[in-house]
């Protein structure tokens, strides 16, 4: 008896209309972004009415000796002030199709264009905040400003910086830069300082994070804490996955012994849940893209030229400025060829920069950040 088989063209194929989009991680800096002066990443909107650059006034605290019964006239203290500039540029993207392609589409793929573009601009914002944190601050406009690709990240991109520029940065910020576990690791030659970092003593463990905080509190100009509550000062430290891994491992015993045994302990104890680590008045937040966007120099910058290095940015208020000329806005293709071509896009104008103040001696000092550098080997 012959068995009838189904010819290939007659086999049933079902196409789902639901499109599965690749997951995009939320911007993990978002809870620390805001328009208030207390925000770590300050969003400024003044340029929405026009202009290519913004001036942000910075004023240092008064430090003169007190005058007693002597004459005060002629002994007044001048206010140490500086205007920091942020340049903005455009960021745009779009997708395009036509009626012929939409007619063939079995899953309405073009229908997800808007959320895809929204995800794209969020990723770009997050990644360029990280690039700005890696960059060296400068008074000059960013290279590439106004080019076809645009340049929204202010400062000198780390991989584009010369050795001399890196050395100037570490010299200017010597009171707010830490290399591993000791002040003795510091050098005004950046490459020499990072070469001291070994994967035994100079990892981002609890003890070294306490040291980083002590350096931050002693810095001058002062780094204003992110929050002060009941006389306690709190900062926020941004980590890549490698330094966060090392910190979390060093806190396991502390979390076991010191965490309160609350009724809903399983959902709150960091031994069992992912998320921030709070230790010694510092909120430690993991942002995995800090590792993936690390400059090439960091790959083997540590001891023996083989140890990878990663930064931890311990931040107070007004550490980063994000100046907007235009918030993200949907756009649409104008040249439609009699409504046959169809396209949707998104555009925004902004600039992102570490905040800094130039001293009377000419040093460019970061305003709200203390940077720690640590050996951070990849997972075996």
CA–CA distance from 3 to each of 6, 141, 142 (Å)? 10, 77, 73
Q: What is the pTM of this model?
A: 0.91
Q: pLDDT value at position 260?
A: 62
Residue 309: alpha-carbon gap to chain centroid: 17
Contact 154, 135 (CB under 8 A): yes
Q: pLDDT value at position 336?
A: 79
Q: How large is the greatest C-alpha to C-alpha distance in the chain, in angstroms?
A: 121
pLDDT in tens, the chain (380 residues): 788 788 898 888 776 666 677 777 888 999 999 999 999 999 999 999 999 999 999 999 999 999 999 999 999 999 999 999 999 999 999 998 888 887 777 667 777 888 899 999 999 999 999 999 999 999 999 999 999 999 999 999 999 999 999 999 999 999 999 999 999 999 999 999 999 999 999 999 999 999 999 999 999 999 999 998 888 999 999 999 999 999 999 998 777 766 665 666 555 666 566 779 999 999 999 999 999 999 999 999 999 999 999 999 999 999 999 999 999 999 998 877 888 988 899 999 999 999 999 998 999 999 999 999 999 999 97
Q: pLDDT value at position 16?
A: 65
Domain chopping of the chain, boundaries: 30-58+81-375
Q: Which residues contact 354 (CB under 8 A, 6 or more apart)?
A: 132, 133, 135, 137, 154, 155, 319, 320, 321, 366, 367, 369
CA angle, 250 as apex, 223 and 296 as ends, to 5°? 65
Q: Which of 80, 102, 326, 89 is nearest to 222 (CA)?
A: 80
Q: pLDDT value at position 293?
A: 97
Q: pLDDT value at position 265?
A: 58
Backbone angles phi, psi at 244, to 5 degrees: -65, -40
Can you give the length of the chain in residues? 380
* Cα radius of gyration (the chain): 26
């Amino acid at each position: 008896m012959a068995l009838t088989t189904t010819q290939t063209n007659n086999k049933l194929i079902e196409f789902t209309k639901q499109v599965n989009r690749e997951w995009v991680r939320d911007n993990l800096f978002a809870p620390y972004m805001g328009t208030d002066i207390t925000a770590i990443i300050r969003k400024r909107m003044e340029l929405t009415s026009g202009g290519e650059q913004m001036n942000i006034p910075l004023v240092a605290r008064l430090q003169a000796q007190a005058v007693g019964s002597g004459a005060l006239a002629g002994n007044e203290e001048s206010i140490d002030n500086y205007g920091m500039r942020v340049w903005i540029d455009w960021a745009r993207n779009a997708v395009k199709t036509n009626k012929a392609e939409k007619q063939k589409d079995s899953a309405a793929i073009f229908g997800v264009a808007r959320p895809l573009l929204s995800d794209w601009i969020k990723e770009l914002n997050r990644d360029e905040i990280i690039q700005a944190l890696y960059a060296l601050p400068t008074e000059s406009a960013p290279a590439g400003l106004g080019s076809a690709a645009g340049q929204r990240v202010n400062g000198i991109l780390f991989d584009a910086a010369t050795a001399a520029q890196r050395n100037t940065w570490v010299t200017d910020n010597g009171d707010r830069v830490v290399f591993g576990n000791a002040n003795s690791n510091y050098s005004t030659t950046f490459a020499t300082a990072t070469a001291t970092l070994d994967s035994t003593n100079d990892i981002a463990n609890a003890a070294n994070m306490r040291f980083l905080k002590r350096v931050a509190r002693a810095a001058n100009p002062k780094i204003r804490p992110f929050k002060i509550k009941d006389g306690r000062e709190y900062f926020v430290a941004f980590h890549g996955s490698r330094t966060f891994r090392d910190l979390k491992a060093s806190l396991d015993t502390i979390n076991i012994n010191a965490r309160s045994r609350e009724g809903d302990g399983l959902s709150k104890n960091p031994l069992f849940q992912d998320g921030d680590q709070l230790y010694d008045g510092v909120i430690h937040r993991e942002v995995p893209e800090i590792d993936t966007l690390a400059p090439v120099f960091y790959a083997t910058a540590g001891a023996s030229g083989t140890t990878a290095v990663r930064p931890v940015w311990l931040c107070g208020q007004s550490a980063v400025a994000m100046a907007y000329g235009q918030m993200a806005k949907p756009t649409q293709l104008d040249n439609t060829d009699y409504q046959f071509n169809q396209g949707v896009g998104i555009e925004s104008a902004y600039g992102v920069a570490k905040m800094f103040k130039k001293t009377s001696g000419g040093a460019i000092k970061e305003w709200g950040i203390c940077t720690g550098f640590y050996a951070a080997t990849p997972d075996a």
